[in-house]
């Protein structure tokens, strides 16, 4: 998912609601890749080269499009 578009969409839907003032930390997550030649596993994007042998790797575990990792509710002051 495109980072800037995701952030813009969040800001659009959250504006004027109780979550509009939330502090949101956006963290990019990479796919888990495996090299077709040497079987090295590494985090990366589609077609990233193997860090061990520079050959092509395949995605073996896709990163989630978007996920909530954690949230904290602060009491009103």
Binding site for Zn ion (CB under 5 A): 35, 37-38, 40, 50, 52-53, 55
| Burial tier of 12 (Cβ tally within 10 Å: 0-12, 13-18, 19+) | exposed
- The least CB distance from residue 63 to Zn ion, in Å, is 20
Residue 14 or 41 having the CB closest to Zn ion: 41
- The least CB distance from residue 48 to Zn ion, in Å, is 11
- The least CB distance from residue 28 to Zn ion, in Å, is 23
């Amino acid at each position: 998912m495109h980072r800037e578009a995701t952030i813009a969409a969040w800001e659009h839907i959250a504006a004027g609601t109780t979550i509009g003032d939330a502090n949101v930390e956006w963290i990019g997550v990479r796919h888990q890749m495996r090299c077709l030649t040497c079987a090295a596993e590494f985090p990366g994007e589609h077609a990233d080269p193997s860090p061990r042998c520079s050959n092509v790797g395949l995605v073996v575990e896709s990163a989630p499009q978007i996920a909530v990792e954690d949230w904290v509710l602060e009491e009103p002051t």
